[in-house]
Amino acid sequence: MKSTKAYPTRQPVDRYASDLSPSVQESVYNASKLKTEARVDALQRDFADPDANRRLAGAIKQHTLDHLDTYLEQAESSLRENGAAVHWASDAESANQIILGIMQRNDCRRMVKSKSMVSEETELVPFLEKNGMEAVETDLGEYIVQIDHDHPSHIVTPIIHKNRQEIARSFEREGLGAYDDDPTVITRRARDYLRSKYLEADVGLTGANFVSAESGRIVLVTNEGNARFSMAAPRIHIALVGIEKLVPKDRDLSLFLSLLARSATAQCLTVYTQFIGGPRHRTQRDGPEKMHVVFLDNRRTEVLSGDCRKILRCIRCGACMNVCPVYRQASGHAYRGVYPGPVGAVLSPLLKGKEFPELADLPKASSLCGACNEVCPVDIPIPELLLRLRNRAKHEHVSLAARGTPSMGIWARAASSPGAWKTALSAGRLLNVVPHGFLNLSSPARAWQSSRKLPPFRGGAFRKWMRERNPPKNGVPSPDRKSEPDS
């Protein structure tokens, strides 16, 4: 972290942003900008009032969260009726143990994994490997993340931070053929290699994009078809599901699917949308004989109890990160958690529980421009939630969150004494004549000033206007004002 020394007051997100190589920064910026534009085009083209749909979807999710106890019990019984075994895990450790237990009881050694952010949360793969199991990621991006011992930097496009040359080198190193950075060749090689993995595997693990409480159907979307393969070759299917993934009824799904696909990748529907209602049909030869669903809490109930419940509406489309000016500069690893971008800046610190201070700087990595709220398919007021977390960090005296922020103490003293305020205003005019380089006494001021120019100081005009205006008659100000206030 070379820049830490140069700017000791910098927030961690700033450091990540300045340490990012120009090529990575460029690819993250371009990819996220393109996706944002495509998303808007798709929604405007296809719907008269896309905002109404976002608000409606937000209301349905909020309703579900506000009645989560009822819907969880309903989902549990629907899933059982479908022939699935339902498990409950209060934390990551418990979820991993349940999955390991299912594998051991069924003499399983090998797992193929479809993309699941929840399994990143529980660090399932390293846990299974430690316990003698093989677990292979099958989403192309996640597979590359796995062979590179890296972390996803985006929830929809996990290797947004890698270019084809790096990927080609990784494939060569893994013995998947001589160096070739043609994306078609890369994709075909992964196709060939992962086919053998699907066929060898005993277990296919997936997440869930939605679970209908009414029918107990698990709804999964993928473009590559890896979730389909993970449920066509292996004999056991395990779905690891966050408890917030429920929707009340099947009829709600067309709204959510239409918003998810357009918000994530500007598609009308993701290529494969699967509705899974239990183990395979009696006339079917391929597919799981057994289905297990693991509901994971992992501090979601803590979030539910607090004042940031709305963040649990999130359907993981990634639109907020694509549109975020901070994400575009800093990329996903800057958020140091499973969920990057604006949603991560709210969710990751909350999911830390007592270790909240470790990520309490994230809510400050935002200009509160509101773009994340405008694109959110479930209308989460992210800026409002960021402010609540900033407030919490302040109240808990988290030093990381305060780093680089000038103290408000001097301002508070001046603002509560009319004399001091007047003096400060006169002194402020000096700013227009003194070279600003002389003002960089404190580190926060220096860090701020290094990349910005102060506007001309125009303070005091309001007080002047107050003094010169006609005195009010019977408490009503005179309409013939001499001048309009300009500050």
Partner 1 sequence: MKDRDTILKRVRDGLAETPERTPYPEYDPACAVMRQPHEFSSLWELFAWRMKSVNGVPLHGWNALGDFLRERALKFGYCDPEYTEAIAAVCGSLDITERFDRNDLDRYEFGITAAAGAIAETGTIVLTDAATRPRLAALAPWIHIAILQEDDIWPDSPTALKRLGDDPSVIWVTGPSKTADVEGILIEGVHGPGVQVCCVV
Residue 248 as a binder of partner 1 (CB under 8 A): the answer is: yes
Kindly state the smallest distance separating residue 417's Cβ from partner 1, in Å: 40
Which is nearer to partner 1, 299 or 352 (by Cβ)?
299
Considering only 9-17, 300-308, 376-384, 429-437, which stretch makes contact with partner 1 by CB under 8 A?
Answer: 300-308
Which is nearer to partner 1, 69 or 486 (by Cβ)?
69
Residue 268 as a binder of partner 1 (CB under 8 A): the answer is: yes
Of 69, 107, 484, 486, which one interacts with partner 1 (CB under 8 A)?
Answer: 69
Residues contacting partner 1: total by CB under 8 A: 98
Residue 67 as a binder of partner 1 (CB under 8 A): the answer is: yes
- Using CB under 8 A as the binding rule, the residues of this chain from 333 to 362 that contact partner 1 are none
Residue 304 as a binder of partner 1 (CB under 8 A): the answer is: yes
Which is nearer to partner 1, 169 or 188 (by Cβ)?
188
Residue 21 as a binder of partner 1 (CB under 8 A): the answer is: no
Of 3, 62, 106, 440, which one interacts with partner 1 (CB under 8 A)?
Answer: 62
Residue 153 as a binder of partner 1 (CB under 8 A): the answer is: no
Residue 171 as a binder of partner 1 (CB under 8 A): the answer is: no
Residue 436 as a binder of partner 1 (CB under 8 A): the answer is: no
Kindly state the smallest distance separating residue 244's Cβ from partner 1, in Å: 10
Kindly state the smallest distance separating residue 159's Cβ from partner 1, in Å: 6
Instruction: For residue 384, count CB atoms less than 10 angstroms from its CB and return exposed for 0-12, middle for 13-18, buried for 19 or more.
Output: middle
Of 108, 118, 140, 362, which one interacts with partner 1 (CB under 8 A)?
Answer: 140
Which is nearer to partner 1, 51 or 355 (by Cβ)?
51
- Using CB under 8 A as the binding rule, the residues of this chain from 24 to 43 that contact partner 1 are 27, 30-31, 34
Residue 53 as a binder of partner 1 (CB under 8 A): the answer is: yes
- Measure the CA–CA gap between 269 and 52, rounded to whole angstroms: 19
- Measure the CA–CA gap between 299 and 308, rounded to whole angstroms: 13
- Using CB under 8 A as the binding rule, the residues of this chain from 363 to 422 that contact partner 1 are none
Instruction: For residue 437, count CB atoms less than 10 angstroms from its CB and return exposed for 0-12, middle for 13-18, buried for 19 or more.
Output: exposed
Kindly state the smallest distance separating residue 135's Cβ from partner 1, in Å: 17
Site string for partner 1, 92-131 (x = CB under 8 A): --x-------------------------------------
Kindly state the smallest distance separating residue 165's Cβ from partner 1, in Å: 10
Kindly state the smallest distance separating residue 141's Cβ from partner 1, in Å: 4
- Using CB under 8 A as the binding rule, the residues of this chain from 189 to 228 that contact partner 1 are 190-191, 194-195, 198-199, 215, 217, 223-226, 228
Considering only 10-18, 255-263, 340-348, 441-449, which stretch makes contact with partner 1 by CB under 8 A?
Answer: 255-263
Kindly state the smallest distance separating residue 217's Cβ from partner 1, in Å: 7
Which is nearer to partner 1, 232 or 402 (by Cβ)?
232
**Which residues, including other chains, have CB under 8 Å from residue 88's CB and lie 6 or more apart?**
294, 295, 297
Residue 63 as a binder of partner 1 (CB under 8 A): the answer is: yes
- Using CB under 8 A as the binding rule, the residues of this chain from 76 to 95 that contact partner 1 are 82-83, 87-90, 94
